[in-house]
């Protein structure tokens, strides 16, 4: 059984490729920015996972040279950099690539249409509410499914003027949409 068998050449290749690719990938990320390894949205997450996979393949596979692996990693990170720069200036590209936040619960009431669209169960919303230390969804002003698939829980706090944090959220009730549009004029 070859489970623990290896040779010195293989071990040296893994050590050398692991060390060199690690430092070069860190340099790529420092050069191209923090977003390179973020999970701000699904687009970023996919690039992060792909880079990790390519890094592992470069270190462990004898069929992939360090140069080829690093070129592939750089290409992914550079494409992400370029696309996110374009998204910054182009709302059309931003809409194509990036998802939008979705309102799942408003003033203690579930918005079933939005939950069905996002394939979110009530139990998942309840869990998110509990994790924030609330006893009931009736205590909640809004639950938003963010672009990174995390839940934002906004407590119902009468002291604050409520609504501004929901300006870019999809699936808002019409009355709240009208109120937000008036506030933003």
Whether the CB-CB separation of 87 and 134 falls below 8 Å is answered with no
* Averaged pLDDT of the chain: 86
- SS3 assignment, position 2: coil
- Report CA dihedral (105, 111, 112, 116) to the nearest 10 degrees: -70
pLDDT at 22 over 60: yes
Among 129, 128, 104, smallest CA distance to 118 is for: 104
Q: What is the pLDDT of residues 60-104, one digit of tens each?
A: 999 999 999 999 999 999 998 998 899 889 988 888 887 788 999
Residue 170 DSSP class: B
Q: What is the pTM of this model?
A: 0.68
CATH number for region 102-184? 3.30.240.20
State pLDDT tens for residues 136-173. 888 899 999 988 888 999 988 765 554 466 667 777 77
């Amino acid at each position: 059984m070859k489970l623990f068998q290896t040779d010195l050449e293989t071990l040296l290749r893994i050590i050398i490729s692991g060390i060199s690719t690690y430092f070069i990938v860190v340099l790529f990320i420092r050069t191209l920015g923090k977003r390179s390894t973020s999970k701000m949205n699904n687009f970023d997450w996919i690039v992060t996972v792909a880079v990790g996979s390519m890094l592992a393949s470069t270190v462990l596979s004898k069929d992939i040279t360090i140069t080829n692996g690093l070129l592939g990693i750089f290409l992914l990170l550079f494409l992400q950099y370029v696309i996110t720069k374009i998204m910054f200036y182009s709302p059309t590209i931003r809409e194509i690539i990036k998802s939008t936040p979705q309102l799942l619960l408003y003033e203690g009431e579930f918005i079933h249409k939005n939950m069905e669209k996002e394939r979110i169960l009530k139990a998942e919303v309840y869990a998110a509410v509990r994790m924030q230390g609330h006893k009931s969804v009736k205590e909640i002003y809004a639950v938003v499914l963010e672009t990174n698939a995390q839940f934002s829980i906004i407590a119902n706090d009468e002291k604050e003027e409520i609504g501004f944090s929901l300006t870019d959220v999809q699936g808002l009730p019409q009355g709240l949409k009208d109120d937000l549009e008036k506030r933003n004029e």
